[in-house]
Structure 1
Amino acid sequence: MTILNTTVELVFGFFSLLILTKLLGKRQISQITPFDFISSLILGELVGNAIYDKDVKIWSIFYAVILWVVLIFIIELLTQKFRKTRTVLEGNPSIVIRNGEIDRQQLKRNKLDTDELQNLLRQKNVFSLREVEFAILETNGSISVLKKPEYGTPTNKDLNIPIKPVYLPVAFISDGCVDEGNLKKAGLTREWLDQQLKSQSISDPKEVMYAEWKQDEGLFISKKKKD
């Protein structure tokens, strides 16, 4: 009976978290603030601890999860409607490098040292502080960098290169399976794909690890390696 109850509560808790995570939106995972991080931890703890507590019933789990999500929704609405609440609940970005100079006060306020700052900059492919004009520490802990003009990447406009249209690549084959839906969206057929594969001496899509199509570049195929 204990195993059955645990199974039921675990399945119920799993799907409750799954559904509620979808309702809360992608912001709970990406662009996460300290408040979002804490709320996500507590939401998981509410379900996790309740599942293995014999005195807690399934409806108690449901009530606890619903109440916590309602509180999160209220906080989200407050931050959307009233700008002043964002500073308290979400925090403000901090300019840690201004006009090429490190702001030591901002580093100290955000409990950040120069080694950690360099680590964050390297994650943005910036390996020297001399390249940075401005660096902003975002509320989710990431850093945004504006390089000095002499270190900036030239654009097509800077180089007077004609601007070409941009196309998204579309996956046609993944791990040997053909995506018929993507083929149809691209206005192509399975017969066309088979012909393209045969032209590269591929008789079966199962021989392909990955294949994508791009309107301006055609079909790219990566074959599976033989064991």
Structure 2
Amino acid sequence: MDMYMDIGIKLVISFFGLWIITFVTGRKTISQLTPLDFLTSLVLSEIVGNTLYDDTVKISHLLFALALWTTVSYLFEKAATHFVKFGYLTEGRAVLLINNGRINQKWLNKYEMEYKQLLSMLRRQGIFSLNEVKYAILETDGSLSVMRKPEFEPPTAQDMGMEAKPDILTVTVIDKGKLLEQSMLGKPIDHNEIKQKAREQGFDSLEDIAYAEYGDNGELYIFPKREVLE
């Protein structure tokens, strides 16, 4: 009877403990999970699973393990949020696999991705030819974001009797006032050009910029801190 009671208490503690950890570290959908989130879930499952039927592990041990893991996860999540470089280090960066219709073979090789894998991911988005793709970005969660060439967008501009306007690819260049070294692998950032573009828009200090994107059309899109809702 005592064993059943012990298991029951551990299960209840584990349930609410995992719920608290999820609430504290931030709610995410499955598609938003990073490799670190996945490893965290595995460790938590081991912590809970190994304590349920082990008589030598007391309830106090389980509480200590969950509390410690919650604290570490919370601090890690906050560090990744507040320190931009640390966040990119832990969560990874997006990778430009197709740039303006040209395949970036270097990054395909680096991530050991074959053409059949790339085509499979494209087909899931209704694209059956590489010739239709202008930009393809491998996101940090492993998904593929695609921008078609204008003539292949449904409905096409030609079908509507309109002139096709070129699509624009933008990359993050400033995050929380910090000028990034490289936010997307395969797409280097010219720091001098970004600073010049910011000065042209009246931003002598990058600290006044909450977020900025740079487009392949040469435009810098700035979101000042004073206009960003906290």
Shared fold, TM over 0.5: yes
Deviations 1:171-219 (A, max 9, x none): xxxxxxxxxxxxxxxxxxxxxxxxxxxxxxxxxxxxxxxxxxxxxxxxx
Aligned in 2, Cα 1:75/1:28: closer, same or farther, shift over 3 Å?
A: farther
1:54/1:134 Cα in 2 relative to 1: closer, same or farther (>3 Å)?
Answer: same
2:90 paired residue number: 89
Aligned length: 159
1:25 aligns with 2:20: no
Counterpart of 2:150, as a letter, is P
Map 1:12-161; keep pairs closer than 5 Å: 12-27=13-28, 29-154=30-155
Alignment partners' CA distance in 1, 2:88 and 2:129: 31
Aligned to 2:7: 6
RMSD across aligned positions (CA) = 2.2
Contact 2:100 2:134 (8 Å CA) reproduced:
yes
Distance 1:80 1:55, change over 3 A: same
Q: What secondary structure does 2:97 align onto?
A: strand
Report if the CA contact (8 A) 1:28-1:40 is conserved: no
* Largest Rg, 1 or 2: 1
Q: 2:146 is matched by which residue type in structure 1?
A: V
Look up the match of 2:218. Answer: none
Q: In 1, Cα distance between the equivalents of 2:74 and 2:112? A: 29
Give the conservation status (yes or no) of the 8 Å contact 2:25–2:77. Answer: no
Q: CA deviation at 1:155?
A: 8.7
Using structure 1 for the length normalisation, give the TM-score: 0.64
8 Å Cα contact 1:21-1:28 kept in structure 2? no
Map of 2:196 onto structure 1:
none
Q: Distance in 1 between matches of 2:129 and 2:50?
A: 47
SS of 2:28's partner is helix
Distance in 2 (alpha carbons) for counterparts of 1:159 and 1:76: 48
| 3-state SS, counterpart of residue 16 of structure 1 | helix
In the alignment, structure 2 segments of 5+ residues that lack a partner are 162-230
Report deviation, 1:14.
Answer: 1.8
- How big is each residue's C-alpha offset from its partner over 1:1-39, in whole Å with a ceiling of 9 and x where there is no partner? 222211221222122212322332222644111111111
Report deviation, 1:122: 1.7
Report the Cα distance in structure 2 between the residues aligned to 1:69 and 1:155, rounded to whole angstroms. Answer: 50
Q: Give the whole-Å Cα distance in 2 for the aligned partners of 1:48 and 1:78.
A: 29
Deviation at 1:159, TM superposition (A): 5.6
Query: Among the aligned pairs, what percent are the same residue?
Result: 40
> Aligned letter for 1:35?
L
Correspondence 1:171-190 to 2 at 5 A: none
Q: Aligned partners of 1:155, 1:128: CA distance in 2, in Å?
A: 16
Contact 1:98 1:134 in 2 (8 A): yes
For CA contacts below 8 A with separation 6 or more, give which structure has more relative contact order: 2
Provide closer, same or farther for how the CA distance between residues 124 and 26 of structure 1 changes in structure 2, counting only shifts above 3 A.
Answer: farther
In structure 1, runs of 5+ residues without a counterpart are: 161-227
Question: 2:44 and 2:136 mapped to 1: Cα distance?
Answer: 33
Residues 24, 74 of structure 2: 8 Å contact kept: no
SS in structure 2 at match of 1:94: strand
